[in-house]
């Protein structure tokens, strides 16, 4: 069992934690556990990021551990400004992590399963950053985004990732100028990420085949 786990690409743990945040979190909204699920899932993402980033400087490690600490404090704190500060910090760290993943992919000499997992994780992290930005916006203005029913974290996650993928079914709409800006930035960033990553991967595959 241990040998099997050691063979799994380290970045897989980050991808799994992100998928749990996206797909499991919304299912817990109507349970007594929902108030802790979001905080715990963020903490797991921070923790598993340690496995995905190959060159972790002391500063990066500090950011990740501070992120986990903030999530733990949120379990016992209901101060709104502290929640907003935690959101901002988490968003900043995830942007840094996404950038580091792109650099890792760009520096790699060959394309393998781990690189593909890192590329997918980076893309999904953009969706999490969008979720954080939309959550902060809704804390300041609950009517900034038009939901068909009462809004919860599941709706925010869904809306953020639908915007990232530019599917846009239209049942949830950005109303305020800031909400529209966030939607626009999310969509553009997602498309730019895919363009850059595909270009890098195709370039490396072509380079390898020419040798």
**What integer pLDDT is reported at residue 134 of this predicted model?**
96
Q: Give me the pLDDT at residue 182, please.
A: 97
Helices and strands (DSSP H and E) totals, the chain = 8, 2
CA distance 156 to 126: 14
Q: What is the pLDDT of residues 50-91, one digit of tens each?
A: 888 888 788 888 988 999 898 888 888 777 788 888 899 999
Q: At residue 110, does pLDDT exceed 90?
A: no
Q: Is the pLDDT of residue 135 over 70?
A: yes
Share of the chain above pLDDT 90, in %: 52
Q: Using CA atoms, how far apart are residues 176 and 167, in angstroms rounded to an integer? A: 20
Question: What CATH code would you report for 10-26+34-204?
Answer: 1.10.287.70
Q: Residue 145 pairs with which residues in a beta bridge? A: 174
Give the pLDDT band (50/70/90) at residue 174: very high
Of 39-48, 120-129, 168-177, the range with the highest mean pLDDT is 120-129
Looking at residue 30, its pLDDT comes to: 81
User: What is the full DSSP assignment across 152-180?
Assistant: -HHHHHHHHHHHHTT---SSSEE-SHHHH
Q: Which of 105, 70, 76 is nearest to 91 (CA)?
A: 70
- Nearest partner of 84 among 121, 135, 41, judged by Cα: 135
Are the CB atoms for 37 and 28 separated by under 8 Å? Answer: yes
- Res 204: pLDDT: 82
Tens digit of pLDDT for each residue in 145-167?
Answer: 998 777 788 899 999 999 999 88
Query: Across 13-150, where does the E strand assignment appear?
Result: 145-146
Task: Give the residue among 97, 95, 101 at the shortest CA–CA distance from 115.
Answer: 101
Measured from the Cβ of residue 77, the count of other Cβ atoms closer than 10 Å reads 12
């Amino acid at each position: 069992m241990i040998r099997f786990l050691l063979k799994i690409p380290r970045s897989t743990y980050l991808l799994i934690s992100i998928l749990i945040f996206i797909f499991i979190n919304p299912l817990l909204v109507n349970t007594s556990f929902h108030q802790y699920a979001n905080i715990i899932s963020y903490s797991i993402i921070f923790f598993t990021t340690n496995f995905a980033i190959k060159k972790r400087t002391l500063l990066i490690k500090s950011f990740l551990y501070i992120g986990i600490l903030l999530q733990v404090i949120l379990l016992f704190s209901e101060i709104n400004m502290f929640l907003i500060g935690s959101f901002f910090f988490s968003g900043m760290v995830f942007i840094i992590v996404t950038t580091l993943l792109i650099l890792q992919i760009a520096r790699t000499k060959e394309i393998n399963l781990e690189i593909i997992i890192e590329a997918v994780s980076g893309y999904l992290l953009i969706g999490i950053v969008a979720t954080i930005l939309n959550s902060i916006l809704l804390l300041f203005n609950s009517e900034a985004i038009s939901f068909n029913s009462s809004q919860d974290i599941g709706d925010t996650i869904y809306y953020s990732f639908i915007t990232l993928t530019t599917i846009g079914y239209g049942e949830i709409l950005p109303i305020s100028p800031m909400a529209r800006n966030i939607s626009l930035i999310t969509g553009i960033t997602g498309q730019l990420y895919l363009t850059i990553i595909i270009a890098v991967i195709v370039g490396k595959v072509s380079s390898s085949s020419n040798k």
